Amino acid sequence: MAETANPPRPQDEVVDIARDLIRIDTTNTGDNATAKGERAAAEYVAEQLAEVGLEAKIYESAPGRASVACRFPGADPSRGALLLHGHLDVVPAEASEWTVHPFSGEIKDGYLFGRGAVDMKDFDAMLLALVRDWKRRGKVPPRDLVLLFTADEEAGSDYGARFMVEQHPEVFEGVTEAVGEVGGFSVTLPNDLRVYVVQTAEKGLDWLRLRATGRPGHGSMLHDDNAVTRLTRAVANIGQHEFPVEMTPTVRQFLESVSELTGIAFDPNNPDETVAKLGPVARLIGATLRNTANPTRLNAGYKTNVIPSTADAVIDCRSLPGRNDELEAILRELAGPGIDFEYEIRQPGYETSFDGVLVDAMAEAIRQADPGARTVPYMLSGGTDAKAFATLGIRCFGFAPLKLPADLDFTALFHGIDERVPLDGLKFGVDVMDRFISQS
């Protein structure tokens, strides 16, 4: 591309690109027939990259379900490549509930509004603004960067990250680490100290179907083999079970760091108590202290006087990394005999250590951009594309930097009404990513 007199600044471009992306409605309904916009978004991304001389390739897993990848060669090809990833799809938004249209990309009161503003077209835009700036200025990353923008993260990644991992492993050649959501945002502790949480672990996703089989019969008769009774006993036992605290290295390190920074005492024998004192962060951390198993669906019977032969239920289980077999053993015991287990989804969690060049680079970039602030590791209780990349042995981190006002309930914005991102936060994010990637 020819040099222009005044190339756009990445701090300005990031807002425009995020806005453009929000205006491409990429609602993922979980159904290929109604999911939309991912192809248009992928083409937009490819154009943004092509404009500065980066050749991107679009991959379709099913008609319209498009992901886009590109390699930005680095200075030292002998080093492992760094995967920078973001998803292009968003969850549905009900326009009538919003104060602005969720796909209009409106800017007001210093915020960019729209579905995807924090999950995660903000980070997609940071990545694009950053590499466009570097290419224009002829700046070369220290090592190969693989940029990947995926479809289908919001519905389990089968048509996006998982498809890429399974069908196009060549895209990940030489990749040793990955950086994406959900981390890098600031959290203000009770003593007004700002920490930036880096995701170094993610709980597993285990959607388990329980099925009881019994003897069918007439509802007016004596009956001792009722599938509904057996199933509901199992569901109640599981739903009422209090899983013990199992502190993983990530959660322990988070609590130790926060305790040190705030002076809130940390009792390893009672981490729940420590977490409860942390204010809004408690919601982020509470669910990562233990396995969870919440019954969410029940299905049995078709007529009041007919005892059905089967009954089934679905349990939304979230296992700690490396503990999904252990969780299943506990659930089998709680369910008792005569209950069959079948997984709708079984994606184990992952955990990586909070150390190394990349982690140091994150901490340093944050220190430079927000003096006095610290980075701490944490575990996400939800799911992201990272679980798919972790299956390739890649160390995964969530680091999409955003400096947030202390009173903003950030986690509520994910999939929430009036999802929005501070414009200053976007600019801050590009700045931090620039420093971070330069030192990566």
Taking CB positions, which residue lies at the least distance from Zn ion? 119
Look at the block and give the residue holding tokens 């990833």.
85
Compute CA distances 164 → 96, 139, 161, 174, whole Å.
36, 28, 5, 15
| Residue 68 one-letter amino acid | V
Query: Is 155 or 298 the residue whose CB approaches Zn ion more closely?
Result: 155
323 CB contacts (<8 Å, ≥6 apart)? 204, 246, 291
Query: Is 212 or 396 the residue whose CB approaches Zn ion more closely?
Result: 396
Query: Is 122 or 133 the residue whose CB approaches Zn ion more closely?
Result: 122
CB atoms within 10 A of CB 92: 14
CB 125 within 8 A of CB 421: no
Q: Using the 8-state DSSP alphabet, how is residue 384 labeled?
A: -
Query: Is 120 or 317 the residue whose CB approaches Zn ion more closely?
Result: 120
Query: Is 156 or 308 the residue whose CB approaches Zn ion more closely?
Result: 156
Q: Tell me the closest approach of the beta carbon of residue 380 to Zn ion, in angstroms.
A: 10
Count of residues near Zn ion by CB under 5 A: 3
Q: Tell me the closest approach of the beta carbon of residue 384 to Zn ion, in angstroms.
A: 6
Q: Tell me the closest approach of the beta carbon of residue 415 to Zn ion, in angstroms.
A: 9
Which of 120, 130, 235, 388 lies at the binding interface for Zn ion (CB under 5 A)?
120
Among the candidate windows 114-122, 187-195, 272-280, 322-330, which touches Zn ion by CB under 5 A? 114-122
Among the candidate windows 3-11, 175-183, 312-320, 357-365, which touches Zn ion by CB under 5 A? 175-183
Among the candidate windows 42-50, 64-72, 176-184, 254-262, which touches Zn ion by CB under 5 A? 176-184
Look at residue 366 and give its three-state secondary structure. Answer: helix
Rounded-to-integer distance, Cα 419 and Cα 409, Å:
11
Q: Tell me the closest approach of the beta carbon of residue 92 to Zn ion, in angstroms.
A: 14
DSSP-assigned states of every residue in 32-97:
TTT--SHHHHHHHHHHHHHTTT--EEEEEEETTEEEEEEEE--S-TTSPEEEEEEE--B----GGG
Which of 119, 144, 177, 312 lies at the binding interface for Zn ion (CB under 5 A)?
119
Q: Does an H or E element contain 224, and which? A: none
Q: Tell me the closest approach of the beta carbon of residue 251 to Zn ion, in angstroms.
A: 21
CB 168 within 8 A of CB 59: yes
Among the candidate windows 170-178, 179-187, 248-256, 278-286, which touches Zn ion by CB under 5 A? 179-187
Q: Tell me the closest approach of the beta carbon of residue 37 to Zn ion, in angstroms.
A: 15
Q: Does 112 bind Zn ion (CB under 5 A)?
A: no
Look at residue 144 and give its three-state secondary structure. Answer: coil
Rounded-to-integer distance, Cα 423 and Cα 171, Å:
32
Among the candidate windows 10-18, 161-169, 178-186, 315-323, which touches Zn ion by CB under 5 A? 178-186
Query: Is 119 or 328 the residue whose CB approaches Zn ion more closely?
Result: 119
Compute CA distances 198 → 176, 183, 219, 347, 408, whole Å.
17, 5, 56, 21, 18
Q: What are phi and psi of 392, to 5 degrees?
A: -90, 5
Among the candidate windows 3-11, 174-182, 212-220, 287-295, which touches Zn ion by CB under 5 A? 174-182
Query: Is 25 or 364 the residue whose CB approaches Zn ion more closely?
Result: 25
Q: Which 126-145 residues touch Zn ion, going by CB under 5 A?
A: none
The residues binding Zn ion (CB under 5 A) are 119-120, 181
